[in-house]
Amino acid sequence: MIQSLARRKRAKVFISYCALVPFLVFFLFPLYWMLITSFKTDTEITSLKGVPLIIQGKPTLAHYKKIFFETAYVTWFKNSFLIAGLVTIITMAISILAAYAISRLRFFGSRHFGVGVFCTYLVPPTLLFIPFYKVVGALGLLNSKWSLLFLYPTLTVPFCTWILIGFFSSIPKALDEAAFVDGASYIQMLWKVFLPVAAPGLIAATLFAFTVSWAQFLYPLAYIYRENEMVLTNGIYTTLIRGDVYFWGELMAGALLASIPVVVLFAFLMDYYIAGLTRGTLR
Amino acid sequence: MAKVILENVSKNFGRVQAVKNFSLEVDDQEFLVLLGPSGCGKSTTLRMIAGLEEVTEGKIYIGDILVNDLPPRDRDIAMVFQDYALYPHMTVYQNMAFGLKLRKRPKEEIDRRVREAAEILGIQELLTRKPRELSGGQRQRVAVGRAIVRQPSVFLFDEPLSNLDAKLRVQMRAELSKLHNQLRTTIIYVTHDQVEAMTMGTKIVIMKDGEIQQVGSPMEVYNYPVNVFVAGFIGSPAMNFIPATLVQLEDGVWLDAGNFQLLLPPSKAERLQDLKERRVLCGIRPEHIQDKAFASKRPKGSTIEGIVEVVEPLGSEVFLSVRSGGHTLTARVDPQTRAKPNEKIELVLDTDRIHLFEQETQRRINTE
Amino acid sequence: MRSIASVVNRKSSPSFLKILRSRRYAAYWMVLPLFILIVGLVVYPFCYSLYLSMLNKSETKWVGLKNFGRLLGYGTFWLVVGNSFRFTLIAVFFKATLGLALALILNNLPLAGQRLWRGVSMIPWVMPLALSSLGWWWVFEPTHSAINWVLVQLGGTPKPWLSDPFWARVSTIVTNIWFGTPFFMIMYLAGLKSIPESLYEAAQIDGAGAVQRFRYVTLPMLSRLIAITVMFSTIVTFANFDIVRILTRGGPRYTTHLFGTYAFNIGIEAGHLPRGAAVALFMFPVLGLAAFFILRNIARGEE
């Protein structure tokens, strides 16, 4: 009886692994396809002979060399880092203060304000990019990467504030009372108790702010046409396609390299990311 | 080292009045226990003393200072919370030092005071650990330690033992009493557990619905409960209450409970002259009811008969539920009892220890 | 704001009020940046967008609702409407079911394996969509790419993935499913973990088989979570831009456009900002409705 239970359990695991395989193939195939393409020579990419699913000829780094030395790729990378980094800092500063005030220092209208934050977090970029075009233009920031510096926070701040409200609210009330009795001011309470205790939430929010900024495509595509001001997403897309000529090798190399920072961040901070995502959505 | 005085203190939450016109003087070095069922306003009272709740009306003094408008940090108090509220990201040492650090005390002084407190509580080896690595009892000690380090003039405890298991609770009770003797500081302690109140308190305040029912030493509230609520709340198992009528016959004053009658001792009867034919509640504690067969000495008091319903042996004693007429009585009898469910039993009620309450007002009728 | 605070607290003693008020002031200062951001960069642009959508192309003349009316008269616009709904409904349906299947599979794995494969399964969601869409674009490339080669090897015929309306729609939807399934999976997995094991044991003792346990324990326990996740995904899917923009640019012949890409096409590329704003505003009722349902569900959960 016991043996058969154990055997059944093992069978269940085995079947589950089998069922997982199609999903993994579906999820990973495009990435694999991008990866091998980026190492194939141009002739092999366009050749119709043989099996395209493997690298048949000699792998080459030509595409990587080309994006690094013949395009503005390095500049885009720098721009992406600069913008995503600054946006993250701005986002965290705004979100931490707001989330702390909303979740703890109850003030007139704080509940409604929380709902308002949630609603703005549901506003997708496609809804407002047209009026933003005028706003960006009025500020003289068309064709400038700095325009992104105040557009991205409209996407990151509401979400980060929302998940931080969640994390802050889960800190037991007695903890601030203890700090209060211990003689902490509101700022000391935030700095010395809330931030360290809600560290997982802060990590998650930081990660979100960075990845969302890194991945944004519509805003840079709509407002930035000068190559040196571009970020990775629109840079790769707009400059590696010349009319009908697609530089597949360069495109794949550029897209993969550009994905690495966020995927690596995710790999190291997966648990925080998932906790933040599920709590931000479900609370 | 300070007195705490509350003068006509009230607290409203919206329309709900949580604490009503509460006046109390807590003497210096007193171990005062606020006791009552949940929702009676005892925690709110404590939190008003701490400065965590605003006082709606009335005045609170700590020492000689009116503290109504002072934030907690200026009240010279320390508090131990129900779930300890230890800062999870700090070590035990940092937890204990936090309050002093915020007050910008010199490092050496902080260090000395933390180590002293740790020694008092026997937690020296835990100083570098984080709260999550501690057991419940150890966390409890750290929470107390955090309060001690501050050397406040008043300690506030908000149900600090309710999250501990039974065995640890007994141990911590003794330790807190010891600590009180050692520190000689005013302690105000909130609990719903009457055993904690009885064992540790030098004075007990029993509260219900935001109002003080009785203030007194543990033995006072046990021996002379002022009303039915206090009588029923203090003591475990709870006091038995039997509705009865006072009847004057030639041989003395009798309590007529319907199917049995009890003759009151002359000392009590004297005081009841003007209460003839009054409806009363007769209260008697389980420990004052004995199994007649095993009543150690010559049984004193009146005997009644009943049917045993439940027998609960606890080893050192046995609780019996006995049905007699329309009443069910709990008796706390000698473990040798041979009582069995559904069998007859004779019980002796110690009429000297009977408490009488007016049925209408629920107040004690003074018979002493 | 000051007057409101003091009215509320007039009854309390004066200097406790001061502390409270200082706390309130602190709170107002702390939310001020967020407030400015929301009003200045969300509320104002939205109102401005309403105004803008009522101007003529050169933004010199007030034309009322003419832009909206014109759009409603275009066959192309109705293609966009139809395709947006089709795209959203089909993609969300597949994401929701595949996500559930994947979550159940992962939940069966031993913990170490679960952690690893959960992480791997999240990659499509974590990767910037614009960049992975480039990869899919290459996957769907008709002559040199892998997918048609595999089809031929399996005895099928190559498909004109991005140049035929039907297959182009399939391509964009498949890409969206690829991107969004992990999101559903991670939500469901969190939900599955929160179902107490004892419920399954009780059901087992009551004689429920695996299917019945799923039907009578898992599904009901997840229902609120499924509803919220579906609504979230509906918003994100409906407002998608990256996939269609990169794979098809709305083509062939406007058959794969979504509101977002069509608004971009008209407003930015064709330079008719007011009409582009009108296109984007057509999304608002659907987004508002979904947001309303999410809020209601969340409020219900808090009760």
Q: What is the pLDDT of residue C155?
A: 87
- Non-local (6+) Cβ contacts of A214 within 8 A are A80, A84, A232, A261, A262, C128
Nearest chain A residue (CA) to B76 = A181
Which residue does chain C place closest to A265, by CA atoms?
Answer: C126
pLDDT score of C5: 35
- 10 Å CB burial of residue B263 (0-12, 13-18, 19+) is middle
Residue type, A88: T
Q: What was the pLDDT predicted at C150?
A: 87
Burial class of A48 by CB neighbour count within 10 A (0 to 12, 13 to 18, 19+): exposed
Encode pLDDT of B55-102 as tens digits.
999 999 998 899 988 888 888 899 999 888 999 999 999 999 999 998
- H helix or E strand, kind and range, residue B306: strand B302-313
- Please give the pLDDT value at position B180: 92
Sign of CA dihedral C264, C270, C273, C276: negative
In a domain, C297, yes or no: yes
Please state, in angstroms and as integers, the Cα–Cα distance from residue C198 to each residue in C37, C184, C203, C217, C239, following that order: 47, 25, 8, 11, 41
Full domain range(s) for residue C258: 75-302
Give the pLDDT mean for C280-301.
Answer: 88
Reported as a pLDDT band with limits 50, 70 and 90, residue B106 is very high
Give the tens place of pLDDT for each residue, C152-197: 889 888 888 888 999 999 999 999 999 999 999 999 999 999 898 8
Q: Do C13 and B71 touch (CB under 8 A)?
A: no
The CA distance from C252 to the nearest CA of chain A, in Å, is 16
pLDDT in tens, A254-264: 999 999 999 99
Which CATH number covers residue C261? Answer: 1.10.3720.10
Compute the distance between CA of residue C87 and CA of residue C80 in angstroms, rounded to an integer. 10
Closest Cα in chain B to A188: B102
> What ipTM was predicted for this assembly?
0.92
Helix B92-102 to helix B107-121 angle (10° resolution) is: 130
Burial of B344 (0-12, 13-18, 19+ CB in 10 A): exposed
Average pLDDT over residues B246-264: 83
Which residue type, as a one-letter code, is found at position A197? V
| pLDDT at residue A220, rounded to an integer | 95
Q: Which of residues 78-137 of B touch A (CB under 8 A)?
A: 78-79, 81-90, 98-99, 102-103
Task: With beta carbons less than 8 A apart as the criterion, state whether A107 and C27 touch.
Answer: yes
The pLDDT assigned to C19 comes to 58
Q: Are B50 and B75 in contact (CB under 8 A)?
A: yes
Q: If pLDDT is split at 50, 70 and 90, which confidence band does C16 have?
A: low
Interchain proximity B83–A174, CB inside 8 Å: yes
Total count of domains within chain C:
1
C255, C167 contact by CB (below 8 A): no
CA distance B11 to A242: 75
Q: Residues C176, C136: contact at Cβ < 8 Å?
A: no
pLDDT-wise least confident of A173-182, B159-168, B272-281: B272-281
Size of interface A-B (CB pairs under 8 A): 60
B87-146 residues touching C, CB cutoff 8 A? none
What pTM was estimated for this model as a whole?
Answer: 0.85
B55 interface with C at CB cutoff 8 Å: yes
pLDDT tens digits along C120-135:
999 999 999 999 999 9
Pick A181's closest partner by Cβ from B72, B89, B90.
B72
Has residue C70 been placed in a domain?
Answer: no
In a domain, C220, yes or no: yes
pLDDT band at B275 (very low <50, low <70, confident <90, very high): low
Q: How confident is the model at residue A215 (pLDDT cuts 50, 70, 90)?
A: very high
In percent, the amount of chain B with pLDDT more than 90 equals 57
User: Do the beta carbons of residue C224 and residue C301 sit within 8 Å?
Assistant: yes
Q: How far apart are CA B150 and CA B105, in angstroms?
A: 11
Longest dimension (CA), chain B: 81
Length of chain C: 303
Asked if residue C21 belongs to a domain, the reply is no
The answer to whether B69 and C15 have CB atoms below 8 angstroms apart is yes
Mean pLDDT of B293-304: 72
Q: What is the pLDDT of residue A283?
A: 60
Q: Which residue has the higher pLDDT, B188 or A42?
A: B188
Which amino acid, C209?
Answer: G
User: Which DSSP symbol is given to A59?
Assistant: -
Q: Which residues of C touch B71 (CB under 8 A)?
A: 19
Mean pLDDT across the stretch B100-115?
Answer: 92
pLDDT mean across residues, chain A: 90
What pLDDT, on the 0 to 100 scale, is given for residue B5? 94
Query: For position A246, what pLDDT does the model report?
Result: 76
Which pLDDT does position B130 carry in this prediction?
93
> Are A174 and B88 an interchain contact pair (Cβ–Cβ within 8 Å)?
no
Res A3: pLDDT: 64
Best of A106, A177, A181, A191 to mutate (most B CBs within 10 Å, chain B): A181
Phi, psi of C252 (to 5 degrees): -70, 135
Percent with pLDDT over 90 in chain A: 62
Question: What is the pLDDT averaged over residues C76-81?
Answer: 94
Q: For residue B9, give how far its alpha carbon lies from the nearest alpha carbon of chain C (Å).
A: 13
Domains belonging to chain A, first-starting first, are 2-60 (no CATH), 65-279 (1.10.3720.10)
Q: Domain for residue C28, yes or no?
A: no
Res. A243 pLDDT band, cuts 50 70 90: low
Per-residue model confidence (pLDDT) at position B284? 93
A75-91 mean pLDDT = 96
Mean pLDDT (chain C, rounded): 88
- Within-domain flag for C29: no
H-helix or E-strand spanning residue B331: strand B327-333
In this complex, the residue of B51, B84, B98 whose CB is nearest that of residue A182 is: B98
Q: Label residue C69 by pLDDT band (50, 70, 90).
A: very high
Q: How far apart are the first and last CA of chain A?
A: 43
Min mean pLDDT across B292-301, C3-12, C90-99, C242-251 is at C3-12
Q: Which long-range contacts (CB under 8 A, 24 or more apart) does B13-17 make?
A: B17/B210
Residue C230 near chain A (CB below 8 Å): no
What are phi and psi for residue B14, nearest 5 degrees? 60, -120
The whole-number pLDDT of residue A234 equals 92
More confident of the two residues C106 and C16? C106
Give whichever of A237-241, B150-154, B297-301 has the largest mean pLDDT: B150-154
The answer to the question of residue C165 being in a domain is yes
Q: What is the pLDDT of residue A203?
A: 95
- Dump pLDDT digits (tens) for A156-200: 999 999 999 989 988 988 898 899 888 888 888 888 999 999 999
Say whether A167 sits in a helix, a strand or coil. Answer: helix
**Which residues in chain B touch residue A193, judged by CB atoms under 8 angstroms apart?**
87
